[in-house]
Structure 1
Amino acid sequence: MEVRTPNRLSFRRWPVFPVLLAQGVVLLIASVVLWQLLGTVSGYSGLCGGLIAWLPNLYFAYKAFRFSGARAAQAIVRSFYAGEAGKLILTAVLFALTFAGVKPLEALAVFGVFVLTQLVNWFAPLLIKTRLSRP
């Protein structure tokens, strides 16, 4: 019996790549704006908040979008569940590490850039140009 390896997609071919790129740009711009307007503490606090949102999404994308093709259907489903569970755990751990280990910290900047980075997901359909159904 031959064991087949499911097709793996390259990082740039993931359908979610434009969303991850946009999230990275948003978190960097927001952090720089906070740094310029409110100071260093707000800047790196915002960067921490953005990374708390972006790194788990990057992990989820790695787990969920690494397989393609009909033969990889079971691997895709398993990867989505593992990616979502890992994303939730990683988010909680990153919040705990940030609030326990980063002093001084501007909590409003952390949550503000976290939410701003997550809002990019709402506009994801505008960033993803692939069709979900055939004509």
Structure 2
Amino acid sequence: MDSRKTHRLPIHRIPVTPVLVAQLIVALLLAAGAYAWRGPVSGYSALCAGLIAWLPNVYFALKAFRFNGARAAQNIVRSFYAGEAGKLILTAVLFALTFKVVKPLDAPMLFGTFVLTLGVGWFAPLLMRTRLSRP
């Protein structure tokens, strides 16, 4: 029996979905706040930063949490490594594209929003429905 076909998780059952939704909400709120506080350049800079933080995390979640079950342990480990490598590459590419294409750009707002959006992950245990320590 091929574990790739029998143990795939559907997208809505990925355990980090609440974290991804919270990151998207924070990114959009920060972009709206930056737009209202400092104008359109800061607003779209913050939106770009939120997407730079969020999109690679979505890629990682889809890649890393595809499999479940003890028989798929090797596939799980492989997919975590591939997901993390892809996440880092995608983040670097998105930053490069943003600095190359988006003009004018509010760099402090870009980096600040990026860090705050990633900071949502620090509160991931509070956002997840099931605790990892439970059997």
Fold-level similarity (TM above 0.5): yes
Q: Which residue of 2 aligns with 1:69?
A: 69
- Give me the CA root mean square deviation: 1.2
| More off after superposition, 5-14 vs 118-127 | 5-14
- Is residue 2:123 matched to residue 1:123? yes
| More off after superposition, 81-90 vs 5-14 | 5-14
* Deviation (angstroms), 1:19: 0.2
Q: Which residue of 1 aligns with 2:78?
A: 78
Q: Which residue of 2 aligns with 1:48?
A: 48
Q: Is the 8 A contact 1:6 1:72 kept in 2?
A: no
Q: Which residue of 1 aligns with 2:27?
A: 27
After superposing on structure 2, the runs of 4+ consecutive aligned residues of structure 1 that deviate more than 3 Å are none
Aligned pairs (5 A) from 1:79-118:
79-118=79-118
Question: How many residues are aligned here?
Answer: 134
| More off after superposition, 63-72 vs 82-91 | 63-72
Q: Is the 8 A contact 1:6 1:69 kept in 2?
A: no
Supply the distance in 2 between the matched residues of 1:133 and 1:31 (Cα, whole angstroms).
35
Supply the distance in 1 between the matched residues of 2:98 and 2:2 (Cα, whole angstroms).
43
Show CA shifts across 1:13-37 (max 9, x none).
1110000000000000000000011
Supply the distance in 2 between the matched residues of 1:68 and 1:28 (Cα, whole angstroms).
32
Q: Is the 8 A contact 2:59 2:83 kept in 1?
A: yes
In structure 2, the CA distance between the partners of 1:88 and 1:108, relative to structure 1 (3 Å rule), is same
Aligned partner of 2:39: which letter?
G
Supply the distance in 2 between the matched residues of 1:66 and 1:127 (Cα, whole angstroms).
20
Aligned partner of 1:45: which letter?
S
Q: Which residues of structure 2 form unaligned runs of 5+? A: none
Supply the distance in 1 between the matched residues of 2:72 and 2:6 (Cα, whole angstroms).
5
* Deviation (angstroms), 1:133: 3.2
Q: Is the 8 A contact 2:125 2:131 kept in 1?
A: no
